[in-house]
Amino acid sequence: MATNQQRREAAKRKLERQLVRRAERARRRKIVGVGVTVGAVVVVAGLVVFFTTFDGGSSNNAAPPSTAPTSQVQIPTQRVTEAARPTPLPNPTTCDYPASTTQQAGKAAKAPNGKNVPSTGTVNVTLHSSVGDMPLTLDRALAPCTVNSFLNLINQNFYTDTSCHRLGTEGLQMLQCGDPTGSGMGGPGYTIPDENFPQLTYGRGILAMAKTSQPNSGGSQFFMVYGDAQLSPDYTVFGSISDAGLQVLDKVARDGVDPASAAQSQAQDGTGAPKTPVKFTGATIS
């Protein structure tokens, strides 16, 4: 029969064997855990490398924003509510058209008569261009002096053979025209008064006058808004663009801005000459 001493020694050896087996199992679990972690990291890293280098077979698939496909131009379809003066102007009114000292006069034009200018009613005008006709409605109640000048320039064939020099497709979605020099600095040699008011808003379908940062600096340049235009009410609105005219503008906009022109633009805002040239061949008043 085993003595107490022998039993204690046997129990001690059994405990030592259990401790060794436990340590071995812990060591194996640690090795397996590290291996799984390393394997997962390798797999994730491989996936990251794959997705960041895969380009569908061409390194040029992703175009930079400045040359994004024109199909990406987002044009709203809803026309904005046309502006209306909160208080009617006197009818008739008087307009002042002083000579300009800053415009590059690419074409000579005679200033209109500024006496007894009507400030009620509308006038239908169609701009004929190389990309299609653009019917407009001029509103004398909004801007009688501007409408008077615009009709005066049409009667002198001022806009014939001039091109639209600036297209915006993001942020400010408009086509700017009316500069005989094509530089953005040209005009008729005279200026027109600002006829804006605080309630003015801009958006699809609006016809407005371009100007410099100086007040009363408008001349012959105007812009046709076919989409969004978050502008302060500093630009005279003098009419609207028909649905047929907007369809023409939409096509020009979707064709996009000439990348070379956008890179050279002094505005540095992504605008530039339209890729599809727009040249006026005439205008009619009806």
CATH number for 250: 2.40.100.10
**Residue 16 pLDDT:** 59
User: Residue 63: inside a domain, yes or no?
Assistant: no
Comparing CA positions, the residue from 225, 213, 272 lying closest to residue 82 is 225
Number of Cβ within 10 Å of residue 238's Cβ equals 29
Residue after which a domain boundary falls, among 58, 88, 107: 58
User: Residue 223: inside a domain, yes or no?
Assistant: yes
Domain extent for 135: 74-285
Locate the DSSP E strands across 30-94.
Answer: none
Share of the chain above pLDDT 90, in %: 67
Q: Are residues 116 and 43 in the same domain?
A: no
Say yes or no to pLDDT of 4 above 90.
Answer: no
Say yes or no to pLDDT of 19 above 60.
Answer: no
**Total structural domains within the chain:** 2
Q: Are residues 151 and 243 in the same domain?
A: yes
Which residues is 207 bridged to in the sheet? 224, 239
User: Residue 67: inside a domain, yes or no?
Assistant: no
CA gap 210, 232 in Å, rounded: 13
User: Residue 252: inside a domain, yes or no?
Assistant: yes
User: Residue 50: inside a domain, yes or no?
Assistant: yes
Q: Are residues 12 and 80 in the same domain?
A: no
DSSP 3-state assignment of 3?
Answer: coil
Q: Are residues 182 and 108 in the same domain?
A: yes
Q: Are residues 131 and 44 in the same domain?
A: no
Q: Are residues 30 and 103 in the same domain?
A: no
Q: Are residues 53 and 86 in the same domain?
A: no
DSSP 3-state assignment of 114?
Answer: coil
User: Can you read off the two tokens belonging to residue 256?
Assistant: 């996009």
Report pLDDT digits (tens) over 139-154.
999 999 999 999 999 9
CA gap 263, 210 in Å, rounded: 22
User: Can you read off the two tokens belonging to residue 274?
Assistant: 């339209």
Q: Are residues 20 and 111 in the same domain?
A: no
Query: What average pLDDT does the chain have?
Result: 82
Share of the chain above pLDDT 70, in %: 74
Q: Are residues 193 and 161 in the same domain?
A: yes
Which one has a higher pLDDT value, 169 or 25?
169
Comparing CA positions, the residue from 171, 178, 168, 186 lying closest to residue 272 is 168
Q: Are 193 and 143 in contact (CB under 8 A)?
A: no
Q: Are residues 119 and 236 in the same domain?
A: yes
User: Residue 271: inside a domain, yes or no?
Assistant: yes
User: Residue 101: inside a domain, yes or no?
Assistant: yes
Q: Are residues 78 and 39 in the same domain?
A: no
User: Residue 160: inside a domain, yes or no?
Assistant: yes
Report pLDDT digits (tens) over 171-228.
999 999 999 999 999 999 999 999 999 999 999 999 999 999 999 999 999 999 999 9
Q: Are residues 15 and 92 in the same domain?
A: no
The Cα-based distances of 128 to 40, 58, 133, 279 in angstroms read: 66, 43, 5, 9
